[in-house]
A = this chain, B = another copy of it.
Amino acid sequence: MSQLRQEIGLSEHLSAAGYRLTAPRRAVLQVLEEARTHLHPEEVLKRARLIYPGLGRATVYRTLALLTGLGLLRPIRLGGSPRLARVTEGHHHLVCLACGHSFSFEECLEGELEEELAQRFNFKIKGHLLEFYGLCADCRGE
Interface positions of A (Cβ within 8 A of B): 68-71, 73-77, 80, 82, 87, 94, 96-98, 103, 105, 107, 109-110, 113-114, 116-118, 120-137, 139-140, 142
Contacts and interface: CB of A to CB of B under 8 A. Distances in A.
A10 to B, nearest CB: 14
B132 A131 contact: no
Given A110-B132, A113-B109, A75 B68 contact: no
Nearest to A69: B98
Contacts of A131: 128-130
A76 to B, nearest CB: 7
A41 to B, nearest CB: 12
A130 B128 contact: yes
A138 B129 CA distance: 22
Residue from the set A118, A125, A134 with the largest chain B CB neighbour count within 10 Å:
A134
Contacts of A121: 94, 103, 105, 136-137
A9 to B, nearest CB: 19
